[in-house]
Amino acid sequence: MTADADTAKPERHVRTARSGAARRRAGGKEHGIALLMVLACISVLLPFTAAFSYTTRVDWQAAINLRDEISARNLTRGGMRLSLLLFELQRMVFNQKQFRQMLGTWDITQVAPYLMSAFGSKDGHEAISGLVGLDNSTFKELAIDHGGFEIRVEAESGKLNVNCLASAGQGKDNSQARTVETLEAMLMPTLYDPLFDEEKSDGQRYTRADVIKAIVDYIDEDNKAWDMVKLASSSTQERYRYTEIFDPYQPRNARLDSVEELHLVQGVDDDLMTAIAADLTVYGGCKVNLNFASADQIALVLRHSVTAEDKWKTEGENFLLKTLPLARYVVDTRTMSLFSDMKAFKEFVEKPDKFMNPLAALGGGGSAAQALNRANLPRIPEGMTIRENSEEDKSSGEQLGGLSDIATIAPERVYRIEIIAEVGAVKKRLTAVYDMQFVRSEGAKGTGAWLYLRED
């Protein structure tokens, strides 16, 4: 090899510069890979983020509902305590002789919605201020800020006591037969026909008479079947399938503790109870309290105590055409003015046209007839003469019934309250029964106690 070859420098490989277009193509590939990596991360994180967001919203709403549920429950319990003020108002004011002499006969069922509205809603103070004629600011601060509640008060003596079916009465005061007649009158409207035309869950159809007979046999003290014609127990034995079902039980054959127990009676289902349960009770006596009784009960009282001259008004179809309209007119009129005694009731029934219906004032202005037309009120029915006390028919020697045999007018003793509280999307209902004359054996001495409590 020559010296020139040994001293020659090696050749250098120099990369030629790329053009601008080539550089852009290479950079685009790198950016595409980065975008794919970002999309992959997002696709992985998105389900976790959505699940976390959904869980958070659910937990947040559950916490709100729990808060509102606690608030609604506290409102119902507070309304229950607040209703004690109504009972004390009835005891210490409305039941006092001086108050009745000055302002007539009143009951808390007439004023409870107005008085309690001041506490149950923000605008409730307007109703009570209009009632008593005071400035709104006096009651404005009583209302609660969050949520609201409503208190309804009912007199139990105005309902039909099914426990009166437990035993037959004596003489004219046969509460068992009268209760059966009232049940028949309650179920008479054709509106209830579908309840008896359709098959029940056991595949059977039950007529009105079948249902009433089953109710009587479930409650009465004997094991004899009830005779719907004689309105008394027959000589045949009761035959029901209470012991043949999957969960067998025996008929009560005694007084019920609650109306809900009627669900156990053969032929009585939820639909029937929805229709009549509101008019039934297991509290109070068997005599009809004319200040709170239903129109059906008052109609039966009129038929029992009517005189011979007007007896035709209570017989056959005239019972529906004359007696029931008069009974309904009594119920409508006493809304604003209760009867002070039997004499007042007797005078009203005999001459209803002599007493102005307070609802006639709804028409406002003009003559009384125009006011009645504007208020769309029914015509004043024809009166009938009735006896206040029973007496003996001198010609036949038969004992003729009177009002005092089966009816009474007395201050209410047992009340049912229903409190409905609503906070946000949560609604709570509390139902309770209070006896004003129950003697307490525990706690603070005195009278008045809760007999029943249910929360829904």
Write the pLDDT tens digit of every residue in 171-209.
666 788 888 888 888 888 888 888 888 888 878 888 999
Does the residue 99 lie in any domain? yes
- Say whether 363 sits in a helix, a strand or coil: coil
Question: Do the domain assignments include residue 145?
Answer: yes
Spatial CB neighbours of 166, under 8 Å, sequence gap ≥ 6: 176, 219, 220, 221, 254, 255
Predicted local distance difference test score (pLDDT) of residue 189? 81
CA distance 329 to 349: 9
Same domain assignment for residues 356 and 424: no
> Rounded distance, CA 285 to CA 289, Å?
9
The answer to whether residues 428 and 382 belong to one domain is no
Give a yes or no: residue 327 inside a domain.
yes
pLDDT at 109: 85
Q: State whether 365 and 418 are in the same domain.
A: no
Runs of H (alpha helix) within 125-236: 125-132, 137-140, 175-187, 193-197, 208-219
Please tell me whether residues 405 and 418 are part of one structural domain.
no
Statement to judge: residues 313 and 407 lie in one domain: yes
Do 391 and 419 lie in one domain? The reply is: no
422 and 347 inside one domain: no
Contact (Cβ atoms closer than 8 angstroms) between residue 266 and residue 240 = yes
The reply to whether 311 falls in a domain is yes
Number of C-beta neighbours around residue 37 at 10 A: 10
Q: Which residues contact 325 (CB under 8 A, 6 or more apart)?
A: 378, 381
Report the DSSP beta bridge partners of residue 392.
Answer: 399
For 407-429, how does the pLDDT look when each residue is reduced to its tens digit (9 = 90+)? 888 888 999 999 999 988 889 99
Within this chain, do residues 339 and 398 fall inside the same structural domain, yes or no? yes
What is the Cα–Cα distance from 389 to 392, expressed in whole angstroms?
10
Total number of domains constituting the chain: 2
Residue 424 and residue 310 in one domain: no
Taking the C-alpha atoms of residue 7 and residue 242, their distance in angstroms, rounded to an integer, is 124
Confirm whether 172 is domain-assigned.
Answer: no
Query: What is the predicted pLDDT for the residue at 435?
Result: 92
Task: Tell me whether residue 22 is in a domain.
Answer: no
322 with 404, same domain: the answer is: yes
CB 107 within 8 A of CB 94: yes
Tallying the residues shown for the chain, one arrives at 456
63 CA to centre of own chain: 30
* Phi, psi at 426, each rounded to 5°: -105, 135
Q: Which two tokens stand for residue 154?
A: 């009912």
What is the 3-class SS of 207-256, one letter each residue? CHHHHHHHHHHHHCCCCEEEECCCCEEEEEECCCCCCCCCCCCCCCCCCC
Residue whose C-alpha is closest to residue 195's, from 218, 181, 211, 217:
211
- What are the backbone dihedrals phi and psi of residue 435, each rounded to the nearest 5 degrees, phi first? -105, 115
150 and 79 within one domain: yes
Q: What is the pLDDT of residue 163?
A: 92
Question: Cβ(358)–Cβ(371) under 8 Å?
Answer: no
* Predicted TM-score (pTM) of this structure: 0.76
Question: CA 176 → CA 113, 183, 249, distances in Å?
Answer: 34, 11, 24
Let me know: does 184 contact 226? Beta carbons within 8 Å.
no
Cβ contacts of 237 within 8 Å, gap of 6 or more: 223, 224, 225
Q: Which residues of the chain have pLDDT under 50?
A: 1, 359-366, 368-369, 372, 374-375
What's the pLDDT score for residue 372? 46
**48-57: which pairs have CB atoms within 8 A and are 24 or more residues apart?**
none
Q: Residues with Cβ < 8 Å from 447, sequence gap 6 or more?
A: 436, 437, 438, 439, 440
Q: What confidence score (pLDDT) does residue 211 get?
A: 92
114 in a structural domain: yes
Range of the domain at 365: 289-411
Within-domain flag for 405: yes
Q: Are residues 394 and 447 in the same domain?
A: no
